Structure 1
Amino acid sequence: MNLIISTFENFLKPTNSFIRFLLVGIVNTGIGLSIIFLLMNGIGLNFWMSTFIGNTCGAVISYILNRNFTFKSSKSLEASGLRFVAIIVISYFGAYGLSHLIWSGILNHTSLILVTNKEASVFFGACFYTLMNYFGQKYFVFNKTR
Protein backbone atom coordinates (compact mmCIF):
# COMPACT_ATOMS: atom_id res chain seq x y z
CA MET A 1 0.00 0.00 0.00
CA ASN A 2 2.85 2.40 0.79
CA LEU A 3 4.28 1.74 -2.67
CA ILE A 4 0.99 2.77 -4.28
CA ILE A 5 0.75 5.93 -2.17
CA SER A 6 4.39 6.80 -2.85
CA THR A 7 3.96 6.26 -6.58
CA PHE A 8 0.82 8.42 -6.60
CA GLU A 9 2.55 11.20 -4.64
CA ASN A 10 5.52 11.16 -7.03
CA PHE A 11 3.19 11.31 -10.01
CA LEU A 12 1.47 14.41 -8.67
CA LYS A 13 4.68 16.33 -7.98
CA PRO A 14 4.92 19.42 -10.13
CA THR A 15 8.35 18.21 -11.23
CA ASN A 16 6.82 15.14 -12.87
CA SER A 17 7.45 15.39 -16.61
CA PHE A 18 4.04 13.98 -17.52
CA ILE A 19 2.25 16.67 -15.47
CA ARG A 20 4.38 19.37 -17.12
CA PHE A 21 3.71 17.75 -20.51
CA LEU A 22 -0.04 17.88 -19.83
CA LEU A 23 0.17 21.56 -18.84
CA VAL A 24 2.02 22.35 -22.05
CA GLY A 25 -0.52 20.18 -23.86
CA ILE A 26 -3.41 22.25 -22.55
CA VAL A 27 -1.87 25.31 -24.16
CA ASN A 28 -0.89 23.79 -27.50
CA THR A 29 -4.04 21.64 -27.73
CA GLY A 30 -6.29 24.62 -27.11
CA ILE A 31 -4.55 26.55 -29.85
CA GLY A 32 -4.34 23.56 -32.20
CA LEU A 33 -7.98 22.47 -31.75
CA SER A 34 -9.20 26.04 -32.17
CA ILE A 35 -7.36 26.25 -35.47
CA ILE A 36 -8.62 22.79 -36.55
CA PHE A 37 -12.27 23.60 -35.89
CA LEU A 38 -11.97 27.07 -37.42
CA LEU A 39 -10.49 25.58 -40.59
CA MET A 40 -12.81 22.56 -40.72
CA ASN A 41 -16.12 24.18 -39.72
CA GLY A 42 -15.53 27.87 -40.43
CA ILE A 43 -13.59 27.75 -43.67
CA GLY A 44 -14.61 24.29 -44.88
CA LEU A 45 -11.20 22.66 -45.22
CA ASN A 46 -11.23 18.87 -45.12
CA PHE A 47 -10.39 16.76 -42.05
CA TRP A 48 -6.79 15.98 -43.02
CA MET A 49 -5.79 19.53 -44.00
CA SER A 50 -7.47 21.02 -40.93
CA THR A 51 -5.89 18.58 -38.48
CA PHE A 52 -2.50 18.85 -40.19
CA ILE A 53 -2.39 22.66 -40.04
CA GLY A 54 -3.78 22.83 -36.50
CA ASN A 55 -1.37 20.22 -35.23
CA THR A 56 1.57 21.86 -36.97
CA CYS A 57 0.83 25.10 -35.12
CA GLY A 58 0.45 23.19 -31.86
CA ALA A 59 3.67 21.28 -32.56
CA VAL A 60 5.76 24.45 -32.85
CA ILE A 61 4.46 25.62 -29.47
CA SER A 62 4.91 22.12 -28.07
CA TYR A 63 8.54 21.85 -29.17
CA ILE A 64 9.54 25.15 -27.61
CA LEU A 65 7.71 24.59 -24.32
CA ASN A 66 8.56 20.90 -23.94
CA ARG A 67 12.22 21.42 -24.74
CA ASN A 68 12.57 24.26 -22.22
CA PHE A 69 9.92 23.52 -19.57
CA THR A 70 8.85 19.88 -19.61
CA PHE A 71 12.08 18.01 -20.25
CA LYS A 72 14.55 20.85 -19.65
CA SER A 73 16.64 19.56 -22.49
CA SER A 74 20.01 20.95 -23.46
CA LYS A 75 20.15 18.92 -26.66
CA SER A 76 20.86 20.96 -29.75
CA LEU A 77 18.10 21.96 -32.12
CA GLU A 78 19.68 19.72 -34.76
CA ALA A 79 19.78 16.69 -32.46
CA SER A 80 16.26 17.07 -31.12
CA GLY A 81 14.51 18.87 -33.98
CA LEU A 82 14.52 16.04 -36.53
CA ARG A 83 13.54 13.50 -33.90
CA PHE A 84 10.74 15.77 -32.73
CA VAL A 85 9.38 16.09 -36.27
CA ALA A 86 9.56 12.30 -36.72
CA ILE A 87 7.61 11.68 -33.49
CA ILE A 88 5.04 14.32 -34.41
CA VAL A 89 4.49 12.80 -37.87
CA ILE A 90 4.24 9.23 -36.52
CA SER A 91 1.92 10.35 -33.71
CA TYR A 92 -0.21 12.40 -36.09
CA PHE A 93 -0.81 9.72 -38.71
CA GLY A 94 -1.05 6.91 -36.17
CA ALA A 95 -3.44 8.65 -33.79
CA TYR A 96 -5.69 10.46 -36.24
CA GLY A 97 -5.71 7.59 -38.72
CA LEU A 98 -6.75 5.11 -36.02
CA SER A 99 -9.29 7.49 -34.53
CA HIS A 100 -10.80 8.30 -37.93
CA LEU A 101 -11.05 4.60 -38.77
CA ILE A 102 -12.65 3.72 -35.42
CA TRP A 103 -15.12 6.62 -35.28
CA SER A 104 -16.14 6.41 -38.91
CA GLY A 105 -17.15 2.82 -38.25
CA ILE A 106 -18.85 3.48 -34.90
CA LEU A 107 -20.82 6.58 -35.82
CA ASN A 108 -21.94 5.22 -39.17
CA HIS A 109 -23.76 2.41 -37.32
CA THR A 110 -25.49 4.38 -34.57
CA SER A 111 -28.75 6.31 -34.72
CA LEU A 112 -28.00 8.75 -31.86
CA ILE A 113 -25.41 11.15 -33.22
CA LEU A 114 -24.43 14.13 -31.06
CA VAL A 115 -21.25 14.84 -33.00
CA THR A 116 -20.09 13.97 -36.48
CA ASN A 117 -17.55 11.24 -37.04
CA LYS A 118 -15.04 13.95 -38.04
CA GLU A 119 -15.48 15.78 -34.73
CA ALA A 120 -15.30 12.58 -32.66
CA SER A 121 -12.22 11.57 -34.63
CA VAL A 122 -10.55 14.89 -33.83
CA PHE A 123 -11.20 14.64 -30.08
CA PHE A 124 -10.18 11.00 -29.70
CA GLY A 125 -7.28 11.46 -32.10
CA ALA A 126 -6.04 14.27 -29.86
CA CYS A 127 -6.04 11.87 -26.89
CA PHE A 128 -4.16 9.14 -28.78
CA TYR A 129 -1.80 11.75 -30.18
CA THR A 130 -1.00 13.10 -26.71
CA LEU A 131 0.00 9.70 -25.35
CA MET A 132 2.05 8.70 -28.38
CA ASN A 133 3.70 12.10 -28.47
CA TYR A 134 4.61 12.12 -24.75
CA PHE A 135 6.35 8.76 -24.82
CA GLY A 136 8.10 9.59 -28.09
CA GLN A 137 9.39 12.90 -26.78
CA LYS A 138 10.40 11.51 -23.40
CA TYR A 139 12.26 8.45 -24.65
CA PHE A 140 13.37 9.43 -28.13
CA VAL A 141 13.56 13.21 -28.56
CA PHE A 142 14.56 14.68 -25.21
CA ASN A 143 15.87 11.57 -23.46
CA LYS A 144 18.66 12.11 -20.99
CA THR A 145 21.87 10.48 -22.08
CA ARG A 146 23.07 8.16 -19.38
Structure 2
Amino acid sequence: MKFEFIRFLVVGVINTLVGLSIMFLLLHGAGLSYWVSTFIGNTVGAGVSFVLNRNFTFRSKEAGLWSVVRFVCVILFCYVVSYQLGSMVIEWVAGDYFSEIVVTNGKVLFSTGLYTVLNYLLQRIVVFRERRYA
Protein backbone atom coordinates (compact mmCIF):
# COMPACT_ATOMS: atom_id res chain seq x y z
CA MET A 1 0.00 0.00 0.00
CA LYS A 2 2.85 2.39 0.84
CA PHE A 3 4.50 1.92 -2.55
CA GLU A 4 1.13 2.07 -4.26
CA PHE A 5 0.58 5.56 -2.87
CA ILE A 6 4.08 6.63 -3.96
CA ARG A 7 3.36 5.29 -7.46
CA PHE A 8 0.04 7.17 -7.44
CA LEU A 9 1.87 10.39 -6.54
CA VAL A 10 4.37 9.89 -9.38
CA VAL A 11 1.55 9.25 -11.85
CA GLY A 12 -0.29 12.23 -10.38
CA VAL A 13 2.67 14.52 -11.00
CA ILE A 14 2.88 13.34 -14.61
CA ASN A 15 -0.82 13.66 -15.42
CA THR A 16 -1.13 16.92 -13.47
CA LEU A 17 1.73 18.48 -15.42
CA VAL A 18 0.17 17.30 -18.68
CA GLY A 19 -3.32 18.49 -17.69
CA LEU A 20 -2.25 21.84 -16.21
CA SER A 21 0.00 22.59 -19.19
CA ILE A 22 -2.91 22.04 -21.53
CA MET A 23 -5.29 24.05 -19.31
CA PHE A 24 -3.02 27.10 -19.15
CA LEU A 25 -2.12 26.84 -22.86
CA LEU A 26 -5.80 26.79 -23.80
CA LEU A 27 -6.79 29.41 -21.22
CA HIS A 28 -4.06 31.94 -21.99
CA GLY A 29 -2.71 30.88 -25.38
CA ALA A 30 -5.94 30.01 -27.16
CA GLY A 31 -8.19 32.30 -25.11
CA LEU A 32 -10.68 29.57 -24.25
CA SER A 33 -12.90 29.85 -21.17
CA TYR A 34 -12.13 28.49 -17.70
CA TRP A 35 -14.62 25.65 -18.13
CA VAL A 36 -13.51 24.60 -21.62
CA SER A 37 -9.81 24.82 -20.75
CA THR A 38 -10.11 22.86 -17.52
CA PHE A 39 -12.39 20.25 -19.10
CA ILE A 40 -10.04 19.57 -22.02
CA GLY A 41 -6.93 19.62 -19.81
CA ASN A 42 -8.52 17.23 -17.35
CA THR A 43 -9.75 14.94 -20.11
CA VAL A 44 -6.24 14.53 -21.52
CA GLY A 45 -4.76 14.23 -18.02
CA ALA A 46 -7.40 11.62 -17.18
CA GLY A 47 -6.42 9.50 -20.17
CA VAL A 48 -2.80 9.56 -19.05
CA SER A 49 -3.94 8.83 -15.49
CA PHE A 50 -6.07 5.82 -16.45
CA VAL A 51 -3.34 4.10 -18.45
CA LEU A 52 -0.60 4.73 -15.89
CA ASN A 53 -2.71 3.99 -12.80
CA ARG A 54 -4.22 0.84 -14.26
CA ASN A 55 -0.88 -0.60 -15.35
CA PHE A 56 1.64 0.95 -12.94
CA THR A 57 -0.03 2.15 -9.74
CA PHE A 58 -2.76 -0.36 -9.03
CA ARG A 59 -1.57 -3.11 -11.41
CA SER A 60 -5.15 -3.95 -12.21
CA LYS A 61 -5.93 -7.14 -14.10
CA GLU A 62 -9.63 -6.36 -14.42
CA ALA A 63 -11.30 -6.34 -17.83
CA GLY A 64 -10.99 -2.94 -19.43
CA LEU A 65 -14.57 -1.96 -20.23
CA TRP A 66 -16.02 -1.83 -16.71
CA SER A 67 -12.95 -0.21 -15.23
CA VAL A 68 -13.12 2.43 -17.99
CA VAL A 69 -16.81 3.07 -17.25
CA ARG A 70 -16.14 3.44 -13.51
CA PHE A 71 -13.08 5.58 -14.23
CA VAL A 72 -15.03 7.95 -16.48
CA CYS A 73 -17.82 8.28 -13.89
CA VAL A 74 -15.30 9.02 -11.13
CA ILE A 75 -13.42 11.54 -13.28
CA LEU A 76 -16.60 13.38 -14.25
CA PHE A 77 -17.81 13.44 -10.66
CA CYS A 78 -14.43 14.69 -9.41
CA TYR A 79 -14.27 17.31 -12.15
CA VAL A 80 -17.70 18.79 -11.49
CA VAL A 81 -17.38 18.76 -7.70
CA SER A 82 -13.78 20.00 -7.54
CA TYR A 83 -13.92 22.69 -10.19
CA GLN A 84 -17.32 24.02 -9.16
CA LEU A 85 -16.40 24.09 -5.48
CA GLY A 86 -12.93 25.48 -6.22
CA SER A 87 -14.36 28.20 -8.42
CA MET A 88 -16.89 29.20 -5.76
CA VAL A 89 -14.35 29.20 -2.91
CA ILE A 90 -11.70 31.24 -4.73
CA GLU A 91 -14.28 33.68 -6.07
CA TRP A 92 -15.65 34.15 -2.54
CA VAL A 93 -12.21 34.47 -0.91
CA ALA A 94 -10.31 36.46 -3.54
CA GLY A 95 -12.78 37.68 -6.16
CA ASP A 96 -12.98 41.25 -4.92
CA TYR A 97 -9.30 41.64 -4.07
CA PHE A 98 -7.29 40.42 -7.05
CA SER A 99 -7.29 40.82 -10.81
CA GLU A 100 -9.34 38.48 -12.96
CA ILE A 101 -6.26 36.61 -14.18
CA VAL A 102 -5.01 35.99 -10.62
CA VAL A 103 -8.45 34.80 -9.51
CA THR A 104 -8.82 32.51 -12.54
CA ASN A 105 -5.35 31.01 -12.05
CA GLY A 106 -6.13 30.57 -8.35
CA LYS A 107 -9.33 28.73 -9.25
CA VAL A 108 -7.43 26.37 -11.56
CA LEU A 109 -4.71 25.62 -9.01
CA PHE A 110 -6.99 25.26 -5.98
CA SER A 111 -9.47 23.13 -7.90
CA THR A 112 -6.67 20.91 -9.18
CA GLY A 113 -5.65 20.19 -5.58
CA LEU A 114 -9.22 19.26 -4.63
CA TYR A 115 -9.53 17.14 -7.74
CA THR A 116 -6.31 15.24 -6.98
CA VAL A 117 -7.34 14.25 -3.45
CA LEU A 118 -10.90 13.28 -4.36
CA ASN A 119 -9.73 11.45 -7.48
CA TYR A 120 -7.21 9.30 -5.57
CA LEU A 121 -9.77 8.29 -2.97
CA LEU A 122 -12.41 7.34 -5.51
CA GLN A 123 -10.00 5.60 -7.88
CA ARG A 124 -8.70 3.52 -4.98
CA ILE A 125 -12.16 2.70 -3.60
CA VAL A 126 -14.30 2.51 -6.75
CA VAL A 127 -12.20 2.00 -9.88
CA PHE A 128 -9.15 -0.08 -9.03
CA ARG A 129 -10.10 -1.79 -5.79
CA GLU A 130 -9.30 -5.46 -5.47
CA ARG A 131 -12.41 -7.45 -6.22
CA ARG A 132 -13.19 -10.72 -4.51
CA TYR A 133 -15.15 -13.15 -6.61
CA ALA A 134 -17.09 -16.06 -5.11
TM-score range, shorter chain: over 0.9
TM-score (norm 2): 0.93
| Structure 1 unaligned spans of 5+ | 1-9
1: CA distance, partners of 2:65 / 2:30: 35
SS at match of 1:116: helix
| Structure 2 unaligned spans of 5+ | none
1:131 to 117, 125, 133: 117
Partner of 1:96: 83
The Cα of 1:113 is off from its aligned counterpart by 5.7
Aligned length: 132
1:77 to 29, 47, 64: 64
The Cα of 1:105 is off from its aligned counterpart by 1.2
The answer to whether the Cα contact below 8 Å between 1:39 and 1:45 also exists between their aligned partners in 2 is yes
**In structure 2, do the counterparts of structure 1 residues 19 and 115 end up closer, same or farther at CA, with 3 Å as the change threshold?**
farther
For the pair shown, the structure with the greater C-alpha radius of gyration is 1
1: CA distance, partners of 2:88 / 2:100: 18
1: CA distance, partners of 2:100 / 2:81: 25
The share of aligned pairs that are identical, in percent, is: 42
Partner of 2:128: 142
SS at match of 1:45: coil
Q: What RMSD over aligned residues (CA atoms) do the two structures have, in Å?
A: 1.6
The answer to whether the Cα contact below 8 Å between 1:18 and 1:134 also exists between their aligned partners in 2 is no
Partner of 2:15: 28
